Structure 1
Amino acid sequence: MTKSSRGADVYLRFLQLSEAIRGLPSLPPLDPLEERILVWIARAGSEGERLSVRDMLAKSEFGAPATIHARLKSMRSKGWIDLADTDDARRKQVELTQRAMAHFARLSRLMIKAANS
Structure 2
Amino acid sequence: MSKPTRPADLYLRFLNLTEALRGLPSLPELDPLEERILELIARAGQSQSRLCVRDVMARDELGAPATLHTRLKSMREKGWITLSDTEDSRRKQVELTQAALSYFDQLSGAMLKAAKGA
SS in 1 for 2:108: helix
- Number of the residue aligned with 2:49: 49
Contact in 2 for aligned 1:51/1:93 (Cα 8 Å): yes
Partner of 1:29, secondary structure, is coil
1:87 is matched with 87
Q: CA deviation at 1:106?
A: 0.5
Name 2:69's counterpart in structure 1. Answer: 69
- SS for the counterpart of 1:51 is coil
How much identity, in percent, do the aligned residues show?
67
Number of the residue aligned with 2:59: 59
Residue of structure 1 equivalent to 2:112: 112
Off by >2 Å, runs of 4+ in structure 1: none
User: Unaligned regions of 5+ residues in structure 2, if any?
Assistant: none
Would you say the 8 A contact 1:80–1:99 is kept in 2? Answer: yes
Q: Distance in 2 between matches of 1:73 and 1:115?
A: 35
Q: Which moved more, 1:101-110 or 1:9-18?
A: 9-18
Distance in 1 (CA, whole Å) between partners of 2:83 and 2:73 is 10
For 2:95 and 2:103, how far apart are their aligned partners in 1?
Answer: 14
Hey, what does 1:37 align to over in structure 2?
37
SS at match of 1:72: helix
* Cα shift at 1:103: 0.3
Question: What TM-score do you get using the length of structure 2 for normalisation?
Answer: 0.90
**Contact residue 85 and residue 91 of structure 1 kept, 8 A:** yes
Distance 2:20 2:43 in 1: 24
Distance in 2, matches of 1:72 and 1:81, equals 8
RMSD over aligned Cα, in angstroms? Answer: 1.4
For the residues of structure 2 that align with 1:32 and 1:19, how far apart are their CA atoms?
13
